[in-house]
Amino acid sequence: MLVSYLTLGYPNREQFLTLLKGLVDAGSDVLEIGPPPKYAKYDGPVIRRSFKQVSSQGYDMWALLREARDAVSVPIVILTYLEEWIPTLEDFLIKLKDIGINGVLFPDLLIDFIDEYEEYVEAVRTHGLKSVIFTSPSVPDPLIQRASKLSDMFLYYGVRPTTGIAIPITVESLITRVRTLVENKLVVGFGLSDVEDMRRALKAGADGVAIGTAYIEEIERGGVKSAIALARKFRGVLDGS
Amino acid sequence: MEFQEDLVPKYWYNIIPDLPKPLPPPRDPPDSEFSRIELLKRIMPKEVLRQQFTVERFVSIPEKVREAYINIGRPTPLLRARRLEEMLRTPARIYFKFEGATPTGSHKINTAIPQAYFSMEEGVNHLVTETGAGQWGTAVALASRMYGLESSIFMVRVSYEQKPQRRTIMQLYGAKVYSSPTSLTEYGKKLTSQNPDHPGSLGIAMSEAIEYAMTNGYKYLVGSVLDVVVLHQSVIGLETINQLRNLDEEPDVLIGCVGGGSNFGGFVFPFIGAQKGTKYIAVGSFEVPKFSRGTYNYDFPDSAGLLPLIKMITLGKDYVPPPIYSGGLRYHGAAPSLSMLIKEGIVKWREYNEREIFEAAQTFLQAQGIVPAPESSHAIKAVIDEAREARVKNEKKVIVFNLSGHGLLDLPNYESMMKRMS
Ligand SMILES: Cc1ncc(COP(=O)(O)O)c(C=O)c1O
């Protein structure tokens, strides 16, 4: 499974829509879209740069999300921090459902809302949305097991402490540890950016990978077209070539 | 037949997979352009960073590191404090793990060795760190020498002047020891230009060491607080589990002192992981009241704020500790894993003042002959209290504590305490 991440409105409105369609044509199974947050708690410098660029252009988030939804038919999951939406959660979820977004993924759910996370999962579902749960190596085993059962679509496992900084880790060991705990599909991401990392993840038992920072870096280097070419390459690795 | 060396584990233990809740990850501050997590990549040995972020329950100890552990005298002894039991007339049985039996006199060498070893393997030739009381600097100086590496130690100026013996040991091992603030770094220069007699602080020394490592392409070694340090220190608790098994003892109460939390975590976490023991007590200093007054928040591990934010029990990075004689317990925070276990009520805490600590140290040294490090004496005070309680309740419980270091190089501090007490 190829899960592709895009920052909402990056690099600009038009090219964002081109990228979106291109990533789907290149074989993405699911799109994760991240609106620029107030506090990018776990995002690395590359994604933070993309947020900055988008924020300086100032679009209507909802209008753009609606356009994105209409442009492609694969499932779209919104990647955003729960902390930010708590005061208006109902409204937020209703609006997402209304424009046809499929689900949400809150990277801070298990970290900052551990005592009530199941209630939030329930709230998301009550609004007809999928709740994809984010886990990481610092989540204890019993909780990974529980979250895997609760998570819709797949369980997201972020292997690095922040996106886009190639902290040295052993991807295989990290995946081997959780693979036996996860019955659900296991999608590995968060700082997984090169093909080698990706091959290792798949070999260790991941069912899919989530890619984000690598696209943004590619856009910075060669524009949206080369990011789409990169997605094709990743698709190829997934398909075993 | 079992050899002593067989008691030294082949794996370190990491408690993170067994914690009750997810451990909040290190973070960059919200509006910062420069990434402190990225900085870690530049200053820490690669393998140390890899171990910090590759969370596995058991991590294989490289054979060469295990040999080095054995070579410095591991396993350290697990001794029964019979005379102390008699003096306290307690039905409890008291054991202590004696980390003071290492060449540098404390547990700090347990992480200095693997960190220096990994650095050598990576082709690094120069290690840098800071030291307050001198225990950590001594450990880095020796570990560097063991692997033929240069070392530079930034020693807090007041300690540099008050603890010349610590300085001498480091120099004998071949380390360069600098009185911090120095003129070797921009940060140090700034401070000394404002105040030529600046007394320094651990936070300043830390910031200088990081800057010095960064500008010269050397590597920086971390002495406590981070998960990877607690991981290496688990050799203490894992050995103790083996030693208790050979004695046919089941521990009830486990006790250790807390500066940054590395000897406590290293000693106690393997017991928690193995579900051994029923009561775990972390002891801090009353004068540095992080447990009673600290908050559980994201904070910087260093005063200059060069390292990533971590979630821990903290008095704030700018907290200025009073000059207590337990230099090693003056740190403002505590390891994230330990902080969580305290917040969750799994680990209990105590805080004792200097007078109580001094008396406990004296009781212990008169009973057992070993002069304890002032830091470790905090654990002793809690042991005495537990043993007295056992007497009142007539409970034959088994109390095991970590004597994290000896105090033979802290005699000037003992002397000044004796004067103050009389
Ligand atoms: C002998 C001794 N014990 C304990 C400590 C406290 O550190 P930690 O809590 O990391 O073990 C120190 C620190 O310098 C020390 O030297």
**CATH (domain of A236):** 3.20.20.70
| B185 and B306 share one domain | no
N-to-C CA span, chain A:
15
User: Is there a single domain that holds both residue B32 and residue B164?
Assistant: yes
B227 falls within a domain: no
Domain, as residue range, for A179: 2-240
User: Taking CB atoms and an 8 Å limit, are A139 and B22 in contact across chains?
Assistant: yes
Q: Do B19 and A140 touch (CB under 8 A)?
A: yes
CB contact under 8 A, A111 and B25: yes
Residues of chain B by 3-state class (helix, strand, coil), percent to 5: 50, 20, 35
* CB-nearest partner of B22 from A42, A110, A168: A110
Query: Within its chain, how far is the Cα of A165 from the centroid?
Result: 16
Distance (Å) from the alpha carbon of A165 to chain B's nearest alpha carbon:
6
Ligand 1 midpoint to CA B405 (Å): 8
Asked if residue B80 and residue B58 are part of one domain, the reply reads no
Q: From the CA of B21, how many Å to the nearest CA of chain A?
A: 6
The ranges of chain B with pLDDT < 70 are 1
Separation of first and last alpha carbons in chain B: 52
The answer to whether the Cβ–Cβ distance between A165 and B35 falls below 8 Å is yes
Helix pair A117-126, A89-98: axis angle to 10 deg: 40
Do B142 and B195 sit in the same domain of this protein? yes
Mark whether B297 and B336 lie in a shared domain: yes
Atom 13 of ligand 1: nearest residue by CA position: B328
Q: Are residues B187 and B79 in the same domain?
A: no
Give the Å distances, CA to CA, from A8 to A170, A216, B219: 31, 12, 39
DSSP-derived 3-state class of residue B283: strand
Tell me whether residues B41 and A165 touch, CB distance under 8 A: yes
Distance B99 CA to ligand 1 centre (A): 11
Q: At what angle do helices B374-393 and B354-368 cross, to 10 degrees?
A: 80
| Spatial CA neighbour of A216 closest among A41, A42, A54 | A54
Whether residue B388 sits in one domain with residue B259: yes
Query: What are the pLDDT digits (tens) for B237-295?
Result: 999 999 999 999 999 999 999 999 999 999 999 999 999 999 999 999 999 999 999 99
CA distances from A221 to A4, A55, A196, A234, B250 (A): 18, 20, 20, 18, 62
Alpha helices in B72-128 (DSSP H): 82-88, 109-121
- Residue B400: per-residue pLDDT: 98
Atom of ligand 1 nearest to the CA of B258: 9
Rounded distance from Cα B280 to ligand 1 centre (Å): 18
Q: Into how many domains does chain B fold?
A: 2
Note the pLDDT tens digit of each residue in A10-67: 999 999 999 999 999 999 999 999 999 988 888 888 999 999 999 999 889 999 999 9
Q: Identify the burial level of A38 via C-beta atoms within 10 angstroms of its C-beta, where 0-12 means exposed, 13-18 middle and 19 or more buried.
A: exposed
Contacts of A42 (CB under 8 A, 6+ apart): A107, A108, A158, A161, A162, A163, A190, B25, B27
- The per-residue DSSP string of chain A comes to -EEEEEETT-S-HHHHHHHHHHHHHTT-SEEEEEPPPSS-TT--HHHHHHHHHHHHH---HHHHHHHHHHH--S-EEEE--HHHHGGGHHHHHHHHHHTT--EEE-TTHHHH-GGGHHHHHHHHHHTT-EEEEEE-TTS-HHHHHHHHHH-SS-EEEE-SSSTT------HHHHHHHHHTT--S-EEEESS--SHHHHHHHHHTT-SEEEE-HHHHHHHHHHHHHHHHHHHHHHHHHHTT-
Are B86 and B56 within one domain? no
Of A39, A135, A138, the CB nearest to B16: A138
Reply yes or no on whether A43 is catalytic: yes
Considering the domain boundaries, does residue B289 fall inside one? yes
- At A70-109, the pLDDT tens digits run 999 999 999 999 999 999 999 999 999 999 999 999 999 9
Domain with B166 in it: 2-63+108-220
The whole-angstrom distance between A99's CA and the closest CA on chain B is 30
CA of B118 to the centre of ligand 1 (A): 23
The answer to whether position B68 is within a domain reads: no
Residues 200-229 of A with CB under 8 A from B: none
Q: Which of B220, B243, B269 is the last residue of a domain?
A: B220
Where is B156: in which H helix or E strand? Answer: strand B150-156
Inter-chain touch A174–B56, beta carbons under 8 Å: yes
Q: Which residues line ligand 1 (CB under 6 A)?
A: B 106, 133, 135-136, 224, 257-264, 328-329, 373, 375-376, 404-405
Specify the pLDDT at position B1. Answer: 58
Same domain, B78 and B40: no
Judge if B116 and B98 occupy the same domain. no
Clarify whether residues B366 and B416 are in a common domain: yes
* Ligand 1 centroid from CA A200, angstroms: 39
Share of chain A above pLDDT 90, in %: 87
My answer on whether omega of the bond before B181 falls inside 30° of 0, hence cis, is yes
DSSP state of B380: H
Q: What's the CA gap between A121 and A115, in Å, rounded?
A: 12
What mean pLDDT, rounded, does chain B reach? 95
Please determine, for residue A241, whether its predicted confidence score (pLDDT) is greater than 70: no
Answer yes or no: is pLDDT of A185 > 80.
yes
Chain A residues near residue B37 by CB distance under 8 angstroms: 44, 161-162, 165, 167
Establish if B27 touches chain A: CB-CB under 8 angstroms: yes
Asked if A111 lies within 8 A of B37 by C-beta distance, the reply is no
Q: What is the CATH number of the domain that holds B34?
A: 3.40.50.1100
Q: Is the peptide bond before B24 cis (omega within 30 degrees of 0)?
A: no
Distances (CA, A) of B247 to A156, B1, B10, B78, B319: 46, 15, 21, 10, 44
* Assigned domain for B225 exists: no
Cβ-based burial of A228 (10 A; exposed 0-12, middle 13-18, buried ≥19): buried
User: Number of structural domains, chain A?
Assistant: 1
**Is position A32 annotated as part of the catalytic site?**
yes
Type of residue at B288:
V
DSSP bridge pairs for A34: A7
Interchain CB contact of B19 with A (< 8 Å) = yes
**Cβ–Cβ contacts within 10 Å for residue B295, how many?**
11
- Is A165 part of the contact surface with chain B (CB cutoff 8 Å)? yes
Chain B 47-106, CB below 8 Å of chain A: which residues? 47, 49-50, 53-57
Q: How many CA atoms lie within 13 A of B60 on its CB side?
A: 4
The reported pLDDT for the residue numbered B387 is 98
